[in-house]
Structure 1
Amino acid sequence: MAYEVSNLDIKVFGKWDTKVEVRDPSLKKYINLMPVYLPHTGGRHEHRRFGKAKLPIVERLINNLMRPGRNKGKKMLAYNIVKTTLDIIAVKTGQNPIQVLVRAIENTAPREEVTRIMYGGIVYYVAVDVSPQRRIDLALRHIVTGAKDASFNNPKPIEEALAEEIIAAANNDPKSFAIRKKEEIERIALSSR
């Protein structure tokens, strides 16, 4: 007798449901909430244009944790950090941690940034709209950077720091590094219009 598993039975880490609401319509296409038990695709997206949009959002967070430094290339360590972080978020907020993560990404994704334009040897800074793919990349990068900075030379473990950063970003708390960074990027873009 074969046991069939439908997509409704699959939960991230065996615990968290991916039935999540994405409020930002521009990010809806790029935040992949496809249910996967193990968020580890092994780089199958690598050689396709916009392939990382097909990666589950939890795996993109895991991949961002593997930035150069202490965790470079250690995917299992990053996997365990995110797994523990999601448990901490669920205990602290009482909500689905995937939903909290999506709220944090929506709140910390900058809508406008600055680019350099050289014109006759003179450099101008011009405000430009940010593509949805880059918005998610920047949001995840700032969330992870804030967590790493909070736990560096500090007895607080990275799991707690990441959970606090995600919760603060989801609540639009100005104590969050990612929220401050987004506001700084948008303020600079506003001044260079």
Structure 2
Amino acid sequence: MTTAVADPSTLVMQDPTKSHPDVKLFNRWSFEEVQVNDISLSDYIGVQPSKHATYVPHTAGRYSVKHFRKAQCPIVVDDAWSKQWEEAYGSQDCEACLTDQNPIQVIVDAIINRRQAVDISPLCRVNQAIYLLTTGARESAFRNIKTIAECLADELINAAKGSSNSYAIKKKDEIERVAKANP
């Protein structure tokens, strides 16, 4: 049995300050320019490439092993899991065409705009926002000519804009209206 020894002259030194220099979702969209504007959700929306290096939205269940480890799950993986349809991955292309923005930034803005005035934990806010966004996409795709990917792209874009055409924003407004009516 022989062992191969690497020639030191052929080794390329990598910059230690860059832990994941070229991490892009589907090798297209970078995590570098994505900004989380809500400071309370910045720890729970995983978009930092140093912590959450993601090439494809699939983690093989590594984040379900321990309690609260889901908070470290990259947001695109969390969003992809709740879609539960393979054709829904095509919505990333729809978002990029319709908004001329990074689709990761559109997802982050949609989750932040869905926030409630009620005091609940940040992880619960993120999970509830993802649930309502995907539920709205499913309901709008039911008995509709549009595909689930197109409906999901519309839902995320409307929620990112804060439009009342979004199911998640409608639910937020409904909850706030009921809370104001019942002092």
1:17 and 1:35 in contact (8 A); partners too: no
Q: Tell me how far 1:185 sits from its aligned partner.
A: 2.0
Q: 1:160 aligns with which of 140, 143, 150?
A: 150
Q: Tell me what 1:35 maps to.
A: 53
The corresponding residue for 1:120 is none
Q: CA deviation at 1:46?
A: 1.0
Larger Rg: 2
Measured in 2, the distance between the counterparts of 1:138 and 1:111 equals 13
Superposed displacement of residue 88, structure 1: 0.9
- 1:96 lines up with 2:102 in the alignment: yes
Q: Which has the higher strand share?
A: 1
Structure 1 residues 89-109: Cα deviation after superposition (integer angstroms, max 9, x where no partner): 111111111111100000012
Cα distance in 2 between the residues matched to 1:111 and 1:137: 16
Q: Secondary structure at the match of 2:177?
A: helix
Q: Secondary structure at the match of 2:29?
A: coil
Shift of 1:189: 3.3
* Structure 1 counterpart SS, 2:175: helix
- Which of 36, 39, 44 aligns to 1:22? It is 36
- State how far apart, in whole Å, the 1-side matches of 2:65 and 2:131 are: 22
Secondary structure of 1:186's counterpart equals helix
Matches within 5 A, 1:100-111: 100-111=106-117
> Sequence identity, in percent?
40
- What TM-score do the two structures reach when normalised by structure 1? 0.79
Q: Check whether the contact 1:109–1:138 (CA below 8 A) recurs between aligned residues.
A: no
- In 2: Cα distance, 1:36 partner to 1:14 partner: 10
Structure 2 residue identity aligned to 1:49: H
Structure-2 residue corresponding to 1:47: 65
**Could you tell me how far apart the structure 2 residues matched to 1:93 and 1:159 are?**
15
Calculate the TM-score normalised by the size of structure 2.
Answer: 0.83
Distance 2:70 2:27 in 1: 23
Aligned to 1:179: 169
Alpha-carbon distance in 2 for matches of 1:27, 1:177:
21
Q: What 5-or-longer segments of structure 2 have no aligned partner?
A: 1-9
- 2:11 and 2:136 map into 1 onto residues whose CA distance is 46
**Residue segments in structure 1 that go unaligned for 5+ positions in a row:** 72-76, 113-128
Q: Identify the range of structure 1 (39-48 vs 54-63) with the bigger mean alpha-carbon deviation.
A: 39-48
